[in-house]
């Protein structure tokens, strides 16, 4: 690596540090940490709330059934599920595995921080999972299509959401 390459890498790292935690409208690839293996493409379904899969997701349909949660009534089936972190019972790992086995689980998972419940469920269910993105999860808008490449530890934007200007508005799911 030449000195000029090193300087460019340092500048890129500084830029990433300055934007971490803030929503970015214009991004194409976001680096993170691979939790599992695999790749999947799907529409983003984003929650600002932690998720407990036990008692929150119907095993047969993939419908989010936790009353009062911002995803209540939404289907996680074949979505890129984006949320801060898991919570609750260790049984949640088996619920996540169960929805994957029943063919109604998420295509992939993206989190701020993966704890053992979600990590175990994603591993058992063979669901690509990435956390710790260099951009805020708010930069991922409901309905936009992304590819989660857990092998590379990154998320790539495929298509922006039809109404990407209102990433804070969950709208109809």
Q: Which residues are catalytic?
A: 89
Q: Which helix (H) or strand (E) holds 34?
A: strand 33-34
Q: For residue 6, give the 3-state DSSP assignment.
A: helix
DSSP 82: E
Tokens read off for 148: 């989660």
Residues 96/121, Cβ–Cβ less than 8 Å: yes
- 92 contact partners, CB below 8 Å, separation of at least 6: 52, 53, 54, 56, 86, 117, 118, 121
């Amino acid at each position: 690596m030449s000195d000029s390459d090193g300087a460019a890498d340092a500048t890129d790292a500084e830029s990433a540090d300055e934007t971490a935690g803030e929503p970015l409208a214009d991004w194409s690839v976001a680096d993170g940490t691979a939790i599992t293996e695999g790749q999947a493409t799907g529409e983003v379904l984003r929650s600002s709330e932690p998720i407990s899969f036990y008692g929150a997701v119907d095993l047969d349909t993939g419908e989010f059934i936790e009353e009062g949660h911002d995803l209540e009534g939404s289907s996680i089936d074949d979505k890129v599920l984006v949320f801060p972190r898991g919570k609750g019972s260790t049984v949640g790992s088996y619920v996540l595995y169960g929805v994957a086995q029943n063919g109604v689980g998420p295509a992939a998972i993206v989190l701020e921080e993966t704890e053992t419940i979600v990590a175990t469920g994603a591993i058992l269910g063979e669901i690509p999972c990435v956390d710790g993105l260099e951009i805020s999860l708010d930069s991922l808008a409901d309905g936009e299509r992304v590819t989660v490449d857990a092998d590379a530890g990154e998320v790539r934007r495929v298509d922006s959401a039809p109404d990407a200007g209102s990433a804070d508005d969950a709208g109809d799911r």
